């Protein structure tokens, strides 16, 4: 069953430079609608949807049972500023966040920590997108 998205979220997902093999990280996934829509576009790729809220992760997991079972999606309760790759986890090449205060300027100190975590968890060619553009805005991932 296709995921129903608001026009705003559909525009965000459509604007992402997804490839069937992309490794995608969504920060602040909420109930996971955008993540499910991304998973539907992946074949050998994977999306990890994270959120600091246990309630949001439970909702995302319940709604994405098919995508999770297929191996194209996983969920994890974690704040963006605390995210680290697990030992067996490959780095990501696309990261996106919608309405995440740490990345849209509302919480600049958390934002710096999130950017450091994103840099450590992504490939050198990775791209980071947030809402607030038309429909997306790309942020530079700081590289040491």
Instruction: Give the model's pLDDT for residue 1.
Output: 47
Predicted TM-score (pTM) of the model is 0.96
For the residues of 55-98, what is the DSSP string, one character each? HHHHHHHHHTHHHHHHTSEEEEE--GGG----TTPPPEEEEEES
* Structural class in CATH, domain 7-139: alpha beta
Structural domain boundaries in the chain = 7-139
Instruction: Collect the ranges in the chain with pLDDT lower than 50.
Output: 1
Instruction: Give the model's pLDDT for residue 3.
Output: 62
Whole-angstrom Cα distance, residue 106 to residue 39? Answer: 29
- The mean of the pLDDT values for the chain is 95
Instruction: Give the model's pLDDT for residue 99.
Output: 93
Which are the contacts of 102, defined by CB distance < 8 A and separation ≥ 6? 80, 81, 110, 111, 113, 114
How far does CA 14 lie from the centroid of its chain?
14
Q: Which strands, in side-by-side order, build the sheet including 73-77? A: 73-77, 46-51, 23-27, 92-97, 122-131, 136-139
For the residues of 6-50, what is the DSSP string, one character each? -HHHHHHHHHS---TT-EEEEES-TTSHHHHHHHTT-SS-EEEEE
* 78-96 per-position pLDDT tens digit: 999 999 999 999 999 999 9
């Amino acid at each position: 069953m296709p995921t129903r998205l608001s026009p705003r979220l559909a525009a965000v997902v459509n604007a992402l430079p997804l490839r069937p093999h992309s490794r995608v990280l969504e920060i602040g996934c909420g109930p996971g609608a955008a993540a499910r829509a991304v998973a539907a576009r992946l074949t050998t790729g994977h999306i990890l949807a994270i959120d600091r809220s246990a309630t949001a992760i439970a909702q995302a997991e319940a709604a994405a049972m098919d995508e999770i079972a297929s191996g194209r999606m996983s969920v994890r309760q974690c704040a963006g500023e605390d995210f680290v790759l697990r030992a067996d986890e490959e780095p990501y090449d696309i990261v996106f966040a919608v309405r995440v205060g740490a990345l849209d300027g509302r919480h600049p100190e958390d934002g710096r920590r999130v950017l450091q975590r994103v840099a450590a968890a992504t490939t050198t060619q990775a791209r980071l997108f947030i809402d607030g553009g038309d429909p997306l805005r790309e942020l530079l991932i700081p590289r040491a």
